[in-house]
Amino acid sequence: MNKSDRLTLVAGGAGFIGSHLCRMLLEAGEHVVCVDNLQTSRPSNLAVLKQYDNFEFIQADITAPWPTSLVTRARQFHRVYNLACAASPPAYQADPEHTMLTSVVGTSQLLRLAEASGARFLLTSTSEVYGDPESHPQREEYRGNVSCTGPRACYDEGKRAAEALTFDYARSGRADVRVARIFNTYGPNMDPCDGRVVSNVICQALSGEAITIYGDGSQTRSFCYVTDTAEALRRLMEADEIGMEPVNIGNPREMTVRELVDLVVDMLGRPAEVRNAPLPVDDPRRRKPNIDRARALLGWEPTTKLEDGIRATMDWFARELGDEVLVTAK
Ligand code: UDP
């Protein structure tokens, strides 16, 4: 495959969503430079990407000074995607200071890089900027209900600051920017141990462990399949007229956690024990994106049915966990 002079930088490219985005870009013939600290990524995600000639990997943390291998290439970038941040609550709460710095210092460093190379910049923000929303479904105009002192603040407030910084670069003409607010996403390449509801429920169901529902399971989320999310990010980056607005990326099909558990257990085809555990502090009651803006600006909406996506994810986890699952399955 021909290597072009124009490089696409994907920070966090070895992670869950990042690895799907990299693969999509590589398949389209782009030369992708992935920067990742491997904090929450699976080695197998990276192994697949390394099979492409047009892929380069640089192990680095976006909060640290750039390694020479990146500095010497800086002026060649024409697209900079920032997907680097732990995103599951247990993972981002394990080192809250680093989480905050990843969003703020990391985004600042990547924006400077984008400015220096004249690259277009895309920040992946999050539905967490809406906090525990009082407005439902969530539109981009909604300013959110975030606790700035709670255990989720390192992530929510970090991303809010990153959005502010990103739009300041655009306002002052320093970079052409895009901001995606990503809602709950699931699919292959998720870390089975990252503590999210989809990975927990599937791994517990496959291995015959009790399925944990936090609280009474009546809280809602809206789950988007990862290839739909990656396609939306690529379209957002390449769209010409976006303006100074963030764009929600998610699936508007809302369901309770209990309904998700029932779906997984149905697909498994054998009974499973369910155990209730305490609801985490500041756990949002409801979450559902309004995606009118993505539909209008990107001509995008999710195309993967939840049942098909959950089936594909279960198959992937079953393969990935392999013997581990078979040994413990009841
Ligand atoms: N949750 C659950 N069981 C689990 C993990 C999570 O019931 O094993 C709940 C969690 O409390 C939340 C929802 O599922 O209400 C989604 O949690 P997740 O961590 O996946 O993402 P969040 O949207 O909270 O960032």
User: Does some domain include residue 314?
Assistant: no
Handedness of CA 239, 8, 4, 228 (dihedral sign): negative
- The predicted pLDDT at position 324 comes to 53
- Say if 319 falls within a structural domain: no
CA of 256 to the centre of ligand 1 (A): 10
What is residue 243's predicted lDDT score, i.e. its pLDDT? 87
pLDDT band at 75 (very low <50, low <70, confident <90, very high): confident
Residue 65 lies in a domain: yes
| Cα–Cα distance measured from residue 222 to residue 253, given in angstroms and rounded to the nearest whole number | 5
* CATH number reported for the structural domain that contains residue 49 in this entry: 3.40.50.720
Identify whether 194 is part of a domain: no
In the numeric block, the tokens 């929303």 are attached to: 133
Is 196 near ligand 1, meaning CB less than 6 Å away?
yes
Does 213 reside within a domain?
no
Question: Is there a cis peptide before residue 137, judged by omega within 30 degrees of 0?
Answer: yes
Using a 6 Å cutoff on CB, does residue 248 contact ligand 1? no
Tell me, using a 6 A CB cutoff, whether residue 304 lines ligand 1.
no
pTM above 0.90, yes or no: yes
Cβ of 213 less than 6 Å from ligand 1 = yes
Report CA(238)–ligand 1 centroid distance (Å): 32
Q: How many domains does the chain have?
A: 1
ipTM tops the 0.90 cut? yes
Q: Which residue has the tokens 């490219």?
A: 13
In the reported structure, the alpha carbon of residue 59 is separated from the centroid of ligand 1 by a whole-number distance in angstroms of 30
Average pLDDT, the chain: 94
Answer whether residue 9 shows pLDDT above 70: yes
The catalytic residues are: 155
- Determine the structural domain holding residue 80 and report its residue range: 7-186+225-252+287-303
Taken in order 106, 90, 255, 192, the sign of the CA dihedral is positive
Is the shortest distance between the CB of 204 and ligand 1 below 6 Å?
Answer: no
Ligand 1 centroid from CA 196, angstroms: 5
293 part of a folded domain: yes
**Position 274 in a domain:** no
Question: Does residue 192 lie within any of the structural domains?
Answer: no
